Structure 1
Amino acid sequence: MSTSSPDFGVEFGLGFLGARELGYAELVFAQMFVWGIGDAVSTLLAFSLTGDLSLEANPIVRAVLLHDPLLLLVFKGAVAAVVGITLIECRDVVMRVPLWRSWMFVVLGLGSAVVASNFYVGFAMLV
């Protein structure tokens, strides 16, 4: 009988200020959350408060918003799911890339900036 715990590939080292270093799966989940749910909800909020399609830069998202705004949740969720599944399936390849963790944090930062920008546009219309 072995008393050692199984290795699931999650790293538990100490990172910045003693925080636990995020593992690959957590970073992928964060990507899916920010770019799927966060971007979709903030885009819907901005569109519903402004009603202006010209504020959306992506022509595909503009077309979805024009057709049915709630379909945007399905569209963004599906794209985030495909990207997440692809990243999980290609884990070995991604983890061989130098600075892969930094790249993931940069993409998360960009996604967070997009979400913040969408919320800013939406809430600016309330003032």
Structure 2
Amino acid sequence: METKEKLVSQVIGSEKAKTVVLFGGSPVRRDEIIRLISEGVDLTVYGTLNEEEGMEKLKELDNKVDIVLIGGRYTPSQRKRISRWVTENLPKAKLSRPGFDYPYSNDEIRKDIVGKL
């Protein structure tokens, strides 16, 4: 009988862990990115699947958010709207926008997130 590994939607680190909110679009890709950026790092990551869910999570966490990762499936207007809200409401949070601020690749995503920790 084949055992399927459950897709990850969040990873909870220690009390001192930095917090990332991931704006994703696909459960499979969300799982891949969460595993990619949290491997070997004390990090809390909350993965969301759409703009509304992501905004709710940002408001819930408030100033506990250190990095907001906006996935490649978001339109320029969505990215702008999310980025503006983060800049205005979470001034200490850093933005990570693959395909916009840097090339869209797993290596570049991990490099950007780890560099912002």
- Please indicate, yes or no, whether the TM-score normalized by the shorter chain is above 0.5: no
TM-score with structure 1 setting the length: 0.23
Question: Which structure is larger by alpha-carbon Rg, 1 or 2?
Answer: 1
More helix by share: 1
Higher relative contact order (CA 8 A, sep 6+): 1
- TM-score, structure 2 length as denominator? 0.24
**Which structure: greater strand fraction?**
2
